[in-house]
Amino acid sequence: MPIPWPPQSVPNEPGIATLSLGTWRHHTLQSRLEAAARAGYKWIDLFDECWAAYLEEHGLPGNSPWEPTADNLSVARKLGELVTSLGMKIACTQPLRQIEGVKDPEERRDRLETVAKRFPFMRAFGTDLVFMCANMRTDEGVTADLKSVARDLAELGDMAKVFAKRDGGPMLRIGYEGLSWARRNTWASTWEVVRMANRENVGLIIDAFNVLAVEFADPYHPAGHGRVHATMEAAVDVLCASMAGLVTSVPGEKIFFFQVGDAERMDPRVFQPPTDQDVPALLPWSRGHRLFPNEQGRGGYMPVLLVAAAVVATGYQGPLSLEVFNNSLNRPDADVPASHALRGMIGLRKLAEEIPRVPAFWEMWLQGREEFHDVSIHLRRARL
């Protein structure tokens, strides 16, 4: 059931992904972590590329970062201690890709074991969450069939449970996210898998950008407004209905992680879809043009607040974690980690202030009240 609304305050602590503080090619992981700590973040989302680079900084090969060798695990403990010394925690590691739905039995077993290799590192880092993206493969060797995918997630949950029982540590969790260009690309299509897997330690990961990239945005729309629907009223009505479904069907404890991010409204006369058919249409926008919340001055335009309010309304207690990719993060300048950490924190603080002001549109939706359709007017007037 949704929590009483509005909340007195938003209890969710701020987090940020390591790749949202600068690229591993130009900025050491330690410098980015220190910038995050100075800005006030409490949680770190550790990306694979950043972990591999950290291993290389310590004289180890970065091409097999999840092989649980004594050396790799020693460096993992060192990283965990560094994060703790800075007053933060590692929330999760990511991204696991191309795991579920594999048809060939041997290949399927290999993919599931790829996930299990991370379990010892979870202990070394001091975290419990393995972050998995929905499969993007389109070949005939993979299926998005509900029963098949749910079976894989259930087995991963069981493998994590066995590992935790064996070593006596806290339960390890498997989080599942729908990428906007994956086979399962909506919160609802990933939630049905999590629900059918029916494991306490298998849960949903929600990314505001990926939700909005499917249900609200179209960066290539020839009209230049960047939305699927022609009017803002229609776009927000559709999104409100979806988010009302989220609030009323997903228990907060089954949302294991929430990522926050906006993106630039693009000029379709200049910004064109990729010509390579193997590159998902949304990928260039996602990788080069995401923004922190409340950065309308930089071109941000999506109703991130609406998604964030819905997630908080479920009773979700985890971090509000920033996941932003932008070409500005690739600059080699030494100030990149600090400047992006500050930009992100400013956006998160404003977001946390605004969430309680959002009307409880999920209640209006449940009751079928006409006021539900006034939410878009309220949001536009308040520039939310």
Please provide the average confidence, as pLDDT, over all residues in the chain: 94
* Domain count across the chain: 1
> Residue 76: inside a domain, yes or no?
yes
- Of 117-126, 144-153, 214-223, 277-286, minimum mean pLDDT range: 277-286
> Residue 8: inside a domain, yes or no?
no
Cα(212)–Cα(95) distance, rounded to whole angstroms?
20
- Residues 112, 131, 16: CA angle, nearest 5 degrees: 160
- Is the pLDDT at 144 greater than 70? The verdict is yes
Q: Give pLDDT, residue 377.
A: 57
Mean per-residue pLDDT for 336-353?
98
Confidence category of residue 8, pLDDT binned at 50, 70, 90: very high
> Residue 1: inside a domain, yes or no?
no
> Residue 2: inside a domain, yes or no?
no
Q: Give pLDDT, residue 367.
A: 77
Can you read off the two tokens belonging to residue 265? 């409204």
Question: Which residue range forms the structural domain that includes residue 274?
Answer: 14-382
> Residue 5: inside a domain, yes or no?
no
90-128 per-residue burial string, b: 16 or more CB within 10 A, e: under 16? bbbbbebbbbbbbeeeeebeebbeebbebbbbbbbbbbb
Mean per-residue pLDDT for 354-378?
77
> Residue 228: inside a domain, yes or no?
yes
Can you read off the two tokens belonging to residue 31? 């410098």
How much of the chain exceeds pLDDT 90, in percent?
92
Q: Is the peptide bond before 6 cis (omega within 30 degrees of 0)?
A: yes
pLDDT digits (tens, 9 = 90+) for 222-244: 999 999 999 998 999 899 999 99
Mean per-residue pLDDT for 315-328?
97
Q: Give pLDDT, residue 368.
A: 72
| CATH code: domain of residue 315 | 3.20.20.150
pLDDT digits (tens, 9 = 90+) for 154-193: 999 999 999 999 999 999 999 999 999 998 999 999 999 9
> Residue 6: inside a domain, yes or no?
no
pLDDT digits (tens, 9 = 90+) for 55-70: 999 999 999 999 999 9
Q: Give pLDDT, residue 384.
A: 45
Which pTM does this prediction carry?
Answer: 0.95
Backbone angles phi, psi at 59, to 5 degrees: 80, 15
pLDDT digits (tens, 9 = 90+) for 20-32: 999 999 999 999 9
Mean per-residue pLDDT for 377-384?
53
Q: Is the peptide bond before 95 cis (omega within 30 degrees of 0)?
A: yes
